Structure 1
Amino acid sequence: MGVLCVGQVVFRHFYLVGDRERYRDWLPNWGAIALSFVLPNPVFTTASMFGALLAYGWRRCKPASFDLYGYAVAAGLIAGEGMGGVIGAALQIGGVSGDVLGTTAGCPMGYC
């Protein structure tokens, strides 16, 4: 996989130039793919897919607005997810997390 990733970088920088530069958007992000294989649950990949589809639609419908706010919104969502994880960890350590005091009322068939 390492050779494939290095090969893609060389391919992108030396072959996809000029008129072929528009094809760079179709190359995969190997860091995100590797992270999805390392994590045992699909939370990261699901969030990444949702964010990518949202960004694609936003950039296609309102490109000026996306250029102005898109990356700031993405950074805010990533930071919010991180802060939510820290708060969830603190609640778990404090013994008042959702699995102790929570309910499965909103979960389909008690999945949560």
Structure 2
Amino acid sequence: MWVILMSIMVMRVTSNVMAYTSTSLMITNMAPSRADLGVMNGAQLLSMSVVRIFAPIVSGSLWSWSIKHSFPFPLNSHLVWTLSAMLIAVALKLSYRIPESVNKFAADQLKPIANAEEADD
């Protein structure tokens, strides 16, 4: 039993790291110039932190509400899991709309900062 649990935890942690890394790479690849990288990465980290703050509060409240009342299937104790699955399905569908232009190596494609040549002198 412990082997199965540890295997699941390793997959969970690995998936979490891969998700954050791939999100950071996509955001970096979408930057129009090197000067915008800081703002874009800061906005990404801010939004991820806000979601990590409010997600447990919202899901915990929804779960408490769903077990407090005796509603049929979609609104019973499975409500949080149903909503999570729906959110994942929507995110998957939206991921197919990401343009192919994002699939590039960012360091080769970014426009240089305007005064980069002057800063080297």
Query: Do the two structures share a fold, i.e. TM-score over 0.5?
Result: no
TM-score of the two chains, using structure 2 as the length reference: 0.39
Higher relative contact order (CA 8 A, sep 6+): 2
TM-score of the two chains, using structure 1 as the length reference: 0.41
Q: Based on CA coordinates, which of the two structures has the bigger radius of gyration?
A: 2
